[in-house]
């Protein structure tokens, strides 16, 4: 992994396929994966963590379609929780047409630069198999 950058308080790295990925924290004591990372593991109270690349594929747990936002945002948009692992549910924007959204549908994590310099990043969930 190389090319570490940030998205909010999370870290972004290039993975073994040279794609941008989000880094999570894996408890060194019990192995629980956390995103975003915490100071202590909620499962075992462990204080030591290793970096873990988040999986790219998951399934939609729940979502909401938002129809009001600050000026400049494209409306409506969807946000929700995606199960990336049996013990990890991640919140984020969902870039799928609202008419196609279904609980349990496969989604893919897309991490990409906000600007051409790749100094700021964002992430969202897109339809599985679509180009991120």
Do you find a cis peptide bond into 76, omega within 30 degrees of 0? yes
- Looking at the predicted structure, is the pLDDT value of residue 82 above 70? yes
CA 77 to chain CA centroid, nearest Å:
17
The torsion angles phi and psi of 57, rounded to 5 degrees, stand at -110, 145
**0.95 cut: is pTM over it?**
no
Task: Express each pLDDT in 83-119 by its tens digit.
Answer: 999 999 999 999 999 999 999 999 999 988 877 666 7
- Per-residue DSSP letter, 54: P
Residues 6+ apart with CB under 8 A from 48: 27, 28, 29
Q: How far apart are the first and last CA of the chain?
A: 20
Give the start-to-end residue ranges of the domains of the chain: 2-127
Percent of the chain with pLDDT over 70: 85
User: Greatest CA span in the chain, whole angstroms?
Assistant: 45
- The residues pairing with 14 across neighbouring beta strands, listed in sequence order, are 2, 20
- Between 60 and 23, the more confident residue is 60
Confidence label for 1 from pLDDT (cuts 50, 70 and 90) = very low
- CA 86/CA 72 separation, integer angstroms: 36
Instruction: Determine which of 56-60, 115-119, 120-124, 125-129 has the lowest per-residue pLDDT on average.
Output: 115-119
The torsion angles phi and psi of 23, rounded to 5 degrees, stand at -100, 135
């Amino acid at each position: 992994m190389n090319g570490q950058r940030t998205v909010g308080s999370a870290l972004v790295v290039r993975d073994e396929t040279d794609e941008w990925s989000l880094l999570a924290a894996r408890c060194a004591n019990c192995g629980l994966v956390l995103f975003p990372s915490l100071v202590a593991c909620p499962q075992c109270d462990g204080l030591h963590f290793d970096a873990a690349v988040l999986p790219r594929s998951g399934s939609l747990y729940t979502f909401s379609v938002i129809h009001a936002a600050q000026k400049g945002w494209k409306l409506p948009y969807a946000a929700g929780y995606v199960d990336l692992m049996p013990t990890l549910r991640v919140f984020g924007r969902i870039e799928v047409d609202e008419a196609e959204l279904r609980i349990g549908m496969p989604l893919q994590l897309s991490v990409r630069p906000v600007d051409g310099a790749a100094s700021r990043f964002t992430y969202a969930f897109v339809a599985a198999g679509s180009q991120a």
